[in-house]
Amino acid sequence: MGYSIRPATMDDAAEISCVVRSALHESNARDYGPETIARVARGFTPDGIAATILT
């Protein structure tokens, strides 16, 4: 199976956000409390990801 790696675009922001936030809630919830997960997740909104892509 082949793959390619490319820079993220603004069109990717929502999907990247979904992947990161899912990982936070599914994987990291075992190690961190709900308040911490919620605080970190706020930094990975689609708008937050889009701002990072622009830099």
Which pLDDT tens digits describe the chain residue by residue (55 residues)? Answer: 799 999 999 999 999 999 999 999 999 988 999 999 999 999 999 999 999 999 8
Instruction: Record the pTM.
Output: 0.82
Domain holding 34, by residue range, is 10-54
- Residues 42, 47: Cα–Cα separation, whole Å: 10
> How many domains is the chain built from?
1
Q: Has residue 48 been placed in a domain?
A: yes
Q: Is 5 contained in some domain?
A: no
In a domain, 27, yes or no: yes
Taking each continuous run of H as one helix and of E as one strand, the counts in the chain are: 3, 0
